[in-house]
Chains A and B, each alone.
Chain A
Amino acid sequence: MLWEVDVSLRDPAGDHAGRDVAAGAVELGVAACTRARTAAGWLIEGSVSREDVERLAATLLADPVTESFVADAAGAGRLVEPLDGLPTVVHVLPKVGVTDPAGLSAQAAAAALGHCVTIRSLRKYWLPPLPAADVDRLADRLLANDAIQDVVAGPLTITPLAGGRTWAYAQQAVPLTGLDDATLEALSRDRCLALSVGELHAVRDHFAGLGREPFEIELETIAQTWSEHCCHKTLTSAVDHAGPAGSVRYGNLLKETVFAATRSIREALGPQDWCVSVFRDNSGVVRFDGDHDICVKVETHNHPSAIEPYGGAATGLGGVIRDVLGTGLGARPIANLDVFCVAPPDTPAAAVPPGTIPPRRLLAGVAAGVRDYGNRMGIPTIAGAVAFHPGYIGNPLVFCGTVGIMPRGHADAAAEPGDLVVVAGGRTGRDGIHGATFSSIELTSVSETESGGAVQIGHAINEKMLVDFVLEASRQRLFHAITDCGAGGLSSAVGEMGAALGATVDLDKVPLKYEGLSATEVWISEAQERMVLSVAPGDWPALAKIAAAEGVEATAIGTFTGSGRIVLRWRGAVAGDLDCHFLHEGRPRQRLVSRHEPAARGPLAWGADAALPRALLDVLALPDVASKERIIRQYDHEVQGCSVLKPLLGPGAGPADGTVIRGVLGRSRGIVLGVGLRHHLGRLDPYQMAAGGIVEAIANAVAAGADPDRIALLDNFCWGDTRRPDSLGTLVEACRACHDLAVAFAAPFVSGKDSLNNVFSYVDDAGVDREISIPPTLLVTALGQLDDVRRAISPDLKAAGNRLAIVGETRAGLAGSQLALTGRVSGGDVPTVDIASCRGSIRAVAAACRAGLVQACHDLSDGGLLAAVAEMSIAGRLGARIDLAAVPAAAEAAAHDLAVAFSESPGRFLCEVRPEHVADFARGLDGIPWAWIGGVTASLELEIRSDSGAVDRIGVADLARAWRREEA
């Protein structure tokens, strides 16, 4: 029997979801939809009576104080009667096979109450009378995402819930011998393998040597392992590069740039080396205090988020949390960060290509995904950024990062021969099949419908339980190694852990969400919230006991053998047998060619509008600069009780530079996070884009009080089509910058990740093929440390009478700046990093902060000096006086007030200093370009003196309104 229960609020005024639907409908041009009501619906199947269902509804599904419910047999007329006079009923249900967290939770709770039923959740909407076309439009654009949801307008006619099908084991060979290259290419595309013809040749030849053809499961395993997503084949390629700094021949691009920098820094540090495990495990590990190491990882989840923003971002975060949990013997996740790159929210509908989600809805979706997953995990989301550029319209970027902490000595872990292969956490379903290979292929306008299978939905509570289980098992040292099931699923997890040993896996033992998965699907499914552990047989009973106590399913599915082979079995029969050496070393290396020529730039040209106040208000309201408070406040940034510098600071809640947490409750040593992202420079000068991002990330951390000798960096390269020599050339330039800057600052890269082929292709209204590539984008994350969090420094102004100093030289490069985005200036050079000068200013400011001479500190980035002072005033609810003529500036910058005011020259800071510290502060800056440029006032206005002596005044309240994009 199938029942439906609808739960709605008694008080219509409380129905916010309904209000949002009405507002969204009007925005979409469905003006008649002025009102809407919503309900949470539940489909309940099983041998339960009407009374049972009503009791379940009353005790479990509806709140007795605020809600009422209707329970009846599914399809009953009562369930589609008008609500509050609204006659049009629309149901939105998760597609079969898509994870339904609410349904699963309700089902488990019903089971605890003694009712063995299947429960699915749905959302139900009541709308005014509307033409069918309008209902379809609302369903398509507002109420549902057809990648994961079904829509039923009118009565719900539904077949039994438990779909499922059966699958009979059959070994399926995929003949490669004798196929020409075109056929091989088609085979790779049709099977979504993302293997090149050259790679398929290597596979064909390997199996020819064995005298047979590969089985499907073997071919899939190779495809997952060799995917760009899993092995970074472009970045680790040999590259012949011709660039402005001459020609270079790399044997392995990544190894000879980013890794080489880390190696040389570690060698120079010698016994003082504080890196523990870099570019090896699921995250980078560095020394923290006498008892602990900390680790950090930042991942991208771009392609899934483009198709299903909420689920894509949530599972992106879930994945990176598992990376940290799967580092060494398991680290405790203690902080998250998220960065989104999207098209401007005001992109006109006509400029939104078919098959893409409008940027405003996309941003709301990804933020909600991070919110709902991160908050449920109880991990504070403490840092991040939102960056805007039209190039992200088809390929939004979603970066999720996690910091973890572990006892010293837990960083090294390895499976041992004879260990059991244990899978723990969520069950395996058909979700996310081909995520690894999908993310390595470019998106097209039909991806949204074709690739839905690659989209996963997270179930945060499963992951929270998994974390609790793993950390307790780790405390008791009940496993030898652990890794997460991410891209490529079990095939990657077991393949990586067993790379040296080999393993035998009984795929029929893997617990399934529903029947009917083929052996291959079980092996490559990317179902979320699973970890693989390597467990000595003697420890298995104790481990299983902890799993049971925490309510986590853990199953032994095989053995790490020491045979050097991955053997896959189904009910005893061998379904696949792969040589580990071939799997991990057999991929043919490619030699690529790249070139980079600096983009031609026009001469620096100024517009007519030179008024400072209007320029400042315009800059503050630009989407990159404007307040992100609406997003930040949806994230719990204080859970775990360690927060010290939050993302919003001071009595006026201004933006933080670096954010700070204690590493351990009750102890004073701190962790600082900073991020750098100079995406507007990506197309202009990829070297400076990367260099500026690194300086920004380090400056962020140092402004908050971080020790400049203990900063670890992470790289996240997101690029367009790197199969093109010129696009690959920009990637090489960015890698060169990473090397140069890391060495100069002795800040080692410890981990990284890349996402390539971020190109969106579609056919426009005129039938023309179009392509949109993202701008070359490097996200840099700085993980800093601070001896004593009580010495952390925030950017909010503290007291009238204090003086303001600018540290670092101001130069004229304004290309790609926020000022340029306002249209007041064009052409000219990009802001360039002068390594020696940046190093000098950063070290001097760090020393002054450490000596207690700085009351407030803000690094100058987007919007330059005036945006920084405005943010400090807003945060501190204090005024400031600034004399632009006093700013130490190179001649070409000094020539124009707007250049001094809004230059984005990297490596500069604004510091607030007490009168009694003035002399000491000045002494520490010997040899550095710096100057006193004003002071803090109680007037609640910003007073700007131009070079000409003219004085402009702007109220801090007006600055705050512009920055918060509130109407005056």
Chain B
Amino acid sequence: MLAPRALVLRAPGTNCDHETAHAFERAGGLARRIHVRALAERPALLDDFQILCIPGGFSYGDDIASGRILAVELKTRLGDALRRFRDGGGLVLGICNGFQVLLQTGLLLADPVTHEPQAALAHNTSGRFVDRWVRLACAPSPCVFLKGLGDLELPVAHGEGRFVLRDPAQLAALRAAGQLPITYAPDDAGVSTNPNGAVGDVAGACDPTGRVFGMMPHPERFLDATQHPAWPGRLDPAAPGAGFSIFVNAVKATA
């Protein structure tokens, strides 16, 4: 059987593409890093892939707002191709900047009628970029990427990660539908690890099918125990990290 193929989309300023492609390959997939220009010129390239991943970084410098320019480019140049890919059962994963892009393209949590974004990732409450590790809790959901995952730790690294909804009343409905499947959890001392002030501690969101998923934390940065900030003397350095399961799940779901 052929290994599932993952297209890791890169744009000027994308900077987590190498390690994200590496993660898919470690998980048994076959990954290709492809520039958005090349894809825009030949959208049919998507037909060769089962997984589309928009990795982390600062696409186009994030100079206007995180993910804004790439989202506008995807909407205007690749909107149909992306919808076809999704509707054809392809898996879509957005990590950090990729999550910011997914929300703004309307591929995730858009209003079903107007197709306008209903959620955004605003500046962290602290007003600053933050790199730290967080505790996460996974709720039962249709999300194929989080299948079998419970509590886990992952790093975050972003300045704009505060999940907000246009209509705060939607939170309960989205949660009930399993579309907010991963949240920031308290640490051992009971202190919240929510790094950005996200409403409802939301760290990630998926569409109703669970096949389009975006998250702020970086699973590709925890493939090995040695990536944990307290691993020496505490974790088996040869053990996999918690982020690895997310890529294994993606590969399994498309195999």
- Residues of chain A touching chain B, judged by Cβ–Cβ distance below 8 Å, are 9, 14, 16-17, 19-20, 40, 59-61, 63-66, 101-102, 104-106, 108-109, 112-113, 371, 375-378, 459-461, 464-465, 468, 549-551, 632-646, 648-651, 653, 665-666, 789-790, 792-794, 796, 798-799, 855-856
In the bound complex, do residue B63 and residue A106 qualify as a contact, i.e. CB atoms below 8 Å apart? Answer: yes
Q: How many cross-chain pairs have Cβ atoms below 8 Å apart between A and B?
A: 179
19 additional contacts, CB 8 Å, given A375-B129, A464-B61? A14-B122, A63-B120, A64-B116, A65-B119, A66-B164, A105-B64, A108-B69, A113-B72, A376-B13, A461-B60, A461-B63, A636-B157, A640-B16, A641-B16, A643-B221, A648-B229, A792-B232, A794-B230, A799-B233
Instruction: Determine whether B90 belongs to the interface, using a CB cutoff of 8 Å to chain A.
Output: no
- Which residues of B from 157 to 178 have beta carbons under 8 Å from A? 157, 164-166
Instruction: Report the nearest B residue to A59, measured CB to CB.
Output: B72
In the bound complex, residues from chain B placing their C-beta under 8 Å from that of A799 are 233
Are B64 and A102 touching (Cβ within 8 A)? Answer: yes
Query: Given A65-B118, A461-B12, A640-B18, are A633 and B61 also a contact pair (CB < 8 Å)?
Result: no
Most buried by A among B23, B57, B61, B234: B61
**Least CB distance, A172 to chain B, in whole angstroms:** 39
Chain A residues with CB under 8 Å of B226's CB are 644, 789-790, 792
Chain B proximity of A122: nearest CB distance (Å): 13
Interface size on B, residues (CB 8 A): 61
User: Could you give, for residues 9-23 of chain B, a 1 whenever the CB lies within 8 Å of some chain A CB and a 0 otherwise?
Assistant: 000111110110011
| The 4 A-B residue pairs with the shortest CB-CB distance in the complex, in nearest-first order | A378-B15, A16-B127, A641-B19, A461-B61
- A105 touching B38, Cβ below 8 Å: no
Nearest A-chain residue to B59, judged by Cβ = A461
Q: Is the CB of B232 within 8 A of A371?
A: no
Among B60, B72, B104, B232, the most chain A Cβ lie within 10 Å of the Cβ of B232
A108 CB contacts on chain B under 8 angstroms: 60, 69
User: Which residues of B line the A interface, CB within 8 A?
Assistant: 12-16, 18-19, 22-23, 26, 35, 37-38, 56-58, 60-65, 68-69, 72-73, 76, 104, 116-120, 122-123, 125-132, 155, 157, 164-166, 218, 220-221, 223, 226-227, 229-230, 232-234, 237-238
Determine the distance from Cα of A489 to Cα of B216 in the docked complex, in whole angstroms: 40
Contact across chains for B72 and A60 when beta carbons are under 8 A apart: yes
Q: Does B220 contact A378, Cβ atoms closer than 8 Å?
A: no
Provide the bound-state CA to CA distance between A59 and B105, in Å.
Answer: 11
A-B contact pairs, 26 of them (CB 8 A): A9-B122, A16-B125, A16-B126, A59-B72, A65-B165, A66-B122, A102-B63, A108-B69, A109-B73, A113-B76, A371-B129, A375-B58, A459-B61, A461-B12, A461-B61, A549-B37, A550-B12, A632-B131, A633-B132, A638-B227, A641-B19, A665-B19, A790-B237, A796-B230, A798-B234, A855-B233
Q: A10: shortest Cβ distance to chain B, in Å?
A: 10
Which one, A16, A377, A637, contacts B123 given CB within 8 A?
Answer: A16
Instruction: Evaluate contact between B166 and A65: CB separation under 8 angstroms.
Output: yes
**Are A378 and B61 in contact, CB atoms less than 8 angstroms apart?**
no
What is the bound-complex CA distance between A376 and B157, given in angstroms? 12
Least CB distance, A43 to chain B, in whole angstroms: 14
Is the beta-carbon distance between B61 and A460 smaller than 8 angstroms? Answer: yes
A782 to B181, CA, bound (A): 45
Tell whether, in the assembled complex, residue A649 and residue B229 are in contact, meaning their CB atoms are under 8 Å apart.
Answer: yes
**A108–B37 alpha-carbon span in the complex (Å):** 14
Query: Which of chain B's residues have a CB closer than 8 A to the CB of A549?
Result: 35, 37-38
Q: Is the CB of A61 within 8 A of B64?
A: yes
The residue in chain A whose Cβ has the minimal distance to the Cβ of B109 is A65
Q: Evaluate contact between B57 and A109: CB separation under 8 angstroms.
A: no
Cβ A109 vs Cβ B129 within 8 A: no
- Contact: B127 with A17, CB < 8 Å? yes
Separation of A459 and B60 alpha carbons in the complex (Å): 11
Give Cα A634–Cα B16 distance, bound, in whole angstroms: 17
Chain A neighbourhood of B122, CB < 8 A: 9, 14, 63, 66
Which single member of A550, A636, A638 contacts B35 (CB below 8 Å)?
A550
Contact B65 A63 (CB under 8 A): yes
Selected from B62, B73, B157, the residue in CB contact (under 8 A) with A639 is B157
Structural contact, A378 and B12, CB atoms closer than 8 A? no
- Tell me, rounded to whole Å, the shortest Cβ–Cβ distance linking B174 to chain A: 14
User: Could you tell me the distance in whole angstroms from the C-beta of B9 to the nearest C-beta in chain A?
Assistant: 14
From the candidates A104, A375, A666, A856, name the one contacting B233 in the complex (CB within 8 A): A856
Whether B123 pairs with A14 at a CB distance below 8 angstroms is yes
Shortest Cβ distance from residue B20 to the other chain A in the assembled complex, whole angstroms: 8
Given A109-B72, A550-B35, A798-B234, A638 and B18 contact (CB-CB distance below 8 Å):
no
B165 contacts across to A, CB distance below 8 A: 65
Residue of B nearest to A875 (CB): B230
Which A residues are CB-close (under 8 A) to B157?
A: 375, 636, 638-639
Among the listed A59, A64, A634, A794, which residue makes an inter-chain contact with B232, where contact means beta carbons less than 8 Å apart?
Answer: A794
Whether the Cβ atoms of A646 and B129 lie closer than 8 Å is no
Decide yes or no: A638 and B117 within 8 Å by CB, A371-B129, A376-B58 being known contacts: no
With contact pairs A371-B129, A641-B227 given, residues A666 and B13 touching in the complex (Cβ less than 8 Å): no
Q: Please, how many angstroms separate the alpha-carbon atoms of A651 and B133 in the complex?
A: 10
Question: Which of B37, B76, B132, B230 has the most chain A CB atoms inside 10 A of its CB?
Answer: B230
Report the minimal beta-carbon distance from A766 to chain B, rounded to whole angstroms.
41
Chain B residues, CB < 8 A from A644: 226-227
- Of A464, A633, A666, the residue contacting B12 (CB under 8 A) is A464
- In-complex Cβ contact of A377 among B15, B56, B166 (8 A): B15
- A61-B64, A106-B64 given as contacts; is B13 within 8 A of A646 (CB)? no
Q: How far is the CA of A369 from the CA of B123 in the complex (A)?
A: 18
Q: Name the B residues within 8 Å of A653 (CB-CB).
A: 229
Residues in B neighbouring A461, C-beta threshold 8 A? 12-13, 58, 60-61, 63
Complex Cα gap A951–B49 (Å): 68
Contact: B238 with A790, CB < 8 Å? yes
Complex-state Cα separation, A643 to B157, whole angstroms:
14
Bound Cα distance from A16 to B19, whole angstroms: 33
CB distance from A190 to the nearest CB of B (A): 38
Within the complex, what minimum Cβ distance (angstroms) separates B127 from chain A?
A: 3
CB atoms of B130 and A634 under 8 A apart:
yes
For B35, the chain A residues whose CB sits under 8 A away are 549-550
In the complex, the chain A residue whose C-beta lies closest to that of B158 is: A636
Is B221 a contact of A638 with CB atoms below 8 Å? yes
Chain A residue nearest to B38 in the complex (CB):
A549
- The one of B12, B125, B218 in contact with A638, judged by C-beta atoms closer than 8 angstroms, is B218
In Å, the complex CA distance between A646 and B232 comes to 11
Task: Say yes or no: B73 contacts A112, CB within 8 Å.
Answer: yes
Bound Cα distance from A789 to B227, whole angstroms: 10
- Which one of B61, B68, B229 lies within 8 Å of A376 (CB-CB)? B61
Chain B residues lying within 8 Å of A63, measured Cβ to Cβ, are 65, 68, 104, 120, 122
Q: Looking across the interface, which residue of chain A has its beta carbon closest to that of B130?
A: A633
Residue of B with least CB distance to A656: B229
Among B26, B76, B132, B226, find the residue whose CB has the most chain A CB atoms closer than 10 A.
B226
CB distance from B16 to the nearest CB of A (A): 6
Q: Please, how many angstroms separate the alpha-carbon atoms of A651 and B232 in the complex?
A: 11
Known: A640-B19, A665-B18, A665-B19. A65 touches B229 (CB 8 A): no
Contact of A65 among B23, B68, B117, B220 (CB under 8 A): B117
Nearest chain A CB to B145 CB, angstrom units = 18
- Which residue of chain B lies nearest to A652 when distances are taken between CB atoms in the complex? B230
**A665→B22 contact, CB < 8 A:** yes
**Shortest CB–CB separation between residue B48 and chain A, in angstroms?**
19
Nearest-Cβ distance from residue A658 to partner chain B, whole angstroms: 12
B47 to chain A, nearest CB (A): 21
Within the complex, the shortest CB–CB distance from B129 to chain A, in Å, comes to 5
B68 to chain A, nearest CB (A): 7
Q: Which residue of A lies closest to B10 (CB)?
A: A468
- Give Cα distance in the complex from A734 to B6, angstroms: 55
Check B13–A464 contact: CB distance below 8 A.
Answer: yes
Q: How far is the CA of A638 from the CA of B128 in the complex (A)?
A: 17
B220 cross-chain contacts in A, Cβ below 8 A: 641
Q: Nearest Cβ in chain A — how far from B6, in angstroms?
A: 16
User: What separation, in Å, do the CA atoms of A19 and B60 have in the docked complex?
Assistant: 28
Task: Compute how far the CA of A66 lies from the CA of B223 in the bound complex, rounded to whole angstroms.
Answer: 34
Q: Are A634 and B128 in contact (CB under 8 A)?
A: yes
Interface pair B123/A101, CB less than 8 Å apart: no
